[in-house]
Copies of this chain bind each other. A is one copy, B any other.
Amino acid sequence: MLVVMRSHATPAEIARVVETIAGLGLTPHPLPGATRTAIGITGNTGAVDKARFEVLPGVEDAIRVTKPYKLASREMHRDDTTIAMPQGTVGPKSFTVIAGPCSVEGEGMILECAAHLMSRGVKFLRAGAFKPRTSPYAFQGMGLEGLAILKKARAQTGIGIVTEVMDVEHAAAVEEASDIIQIGTRNMQNFSLLKRVGQCRKPVLLKRGMSATLEDWLMAAEYIMAGGNYQVILCERGVRTFSDHSRNTLDLSVIPPAKTLSHLPIFVDPSHGTGKRAYVPAMSLAALAAGADGLLIETHPTPDQAMSDGAQSLDYPALDALLAQIKQLAPFFGRPV
């Protein structure tokens, strides 16, 4: 942190800033210049609140010099993180497709879907047993019964399970049933839940909050990693902007800076990102080209009858066509599929 004083700041104003810094148990370093004084701060373990200094008399600006996240940062860990699972490895040399319906709707449908995906080379099934629905009157998911169905699908086909945990209460059950635990966008800053999955030893797919900056997102990853779980996968799924041409604004432009600042893998969910199935294939290929390590795609045997999010789900022929395009395109980006 660097506190920049106004050009006409008085010695008393400078002294007050120095005292405020010392009063926080930190070390002030006054640096007088030709037209103004700046005061460096060291000794902080976490982030120092910038605004605390901005309001003191005589202060022009307070500037944060270092990043507030450590374990998630590229500075701490230069190489890209890879996550090895029985079904495959997530990382810079591969491209991982996770597909499946929005919700677990019943046993037959999930078993059939798992078998279909495995037959197409898709090694991970996504499906929610606990559903974060905007309306309390909407279908809330099959709960523990849904988890049992997912476990059965894994036992029968070997497919990896990706499913969402919504609260601390069900964390153990979700961890047991899943190969990758999903944290949904609305819970990206549910810090109690982040701490809890930091205790898990399964990889965590962390969806970006609807208005999360890249720093907020990496700080949420830091919460999980600070608990000892270093297997975090970031997942971009669209953010809230003024733009109204689709359900959300899928922000592919976050991928290059995320790769620069962090070593964590990053996936893209074009289904929630666009909200319309017609836009999913183009945005999937664009995600691959932008540097994503994988995709999360909603697919359903009969999208028009889906219990949730049918409008953004691909049917099987559309998924097959997209997988064929990915297979052809991914090697161009050093990601043999």
Cβ of A308 under 8 Å from chain B:
yes
Query: Does B256 lie within 8 Å of A253, measured CB to CB?
Result: no
Q: Are B65 and A312 in touch, CB under 8 angstroms?
A: no
User: Which of A79-87, A114-122, A209-217 faces chain B?
Assistant: A209-217
Interface: A301 (CB within 8 A): no
Residues of B within 8 A of A38 (CB): 2
How many residues from A make CB contacts under 8 Å with B?
111
Additional A-B contact list (15), CB under 8 Å, known A23-B305, A214-B244: A46-B137, A47-B137, A54-B276, A54-B311, A60-B66, A135-B219, A136-B226, A168-B169, A211-B242, A214-B243, A240-B242, A245-B257, A252-B290, A253-B274, A256-B282
27 contacts between A and B (CB under 8 A): A2-B4, A2-B38, A6-B75, A31-B31, A45-B137, A49-B310, A51-B275, A52-B311, A61-B65, A68-B135, A68-B137, A132-B189, A136-B223, A186-B191, A211-B239, A239-B243, A240-B242, A245-B258, A246-B257, A252-B253, A252-B286, A253-B279, A256-B278, A282-B291, A288-B289, A328-B332, A332-B332
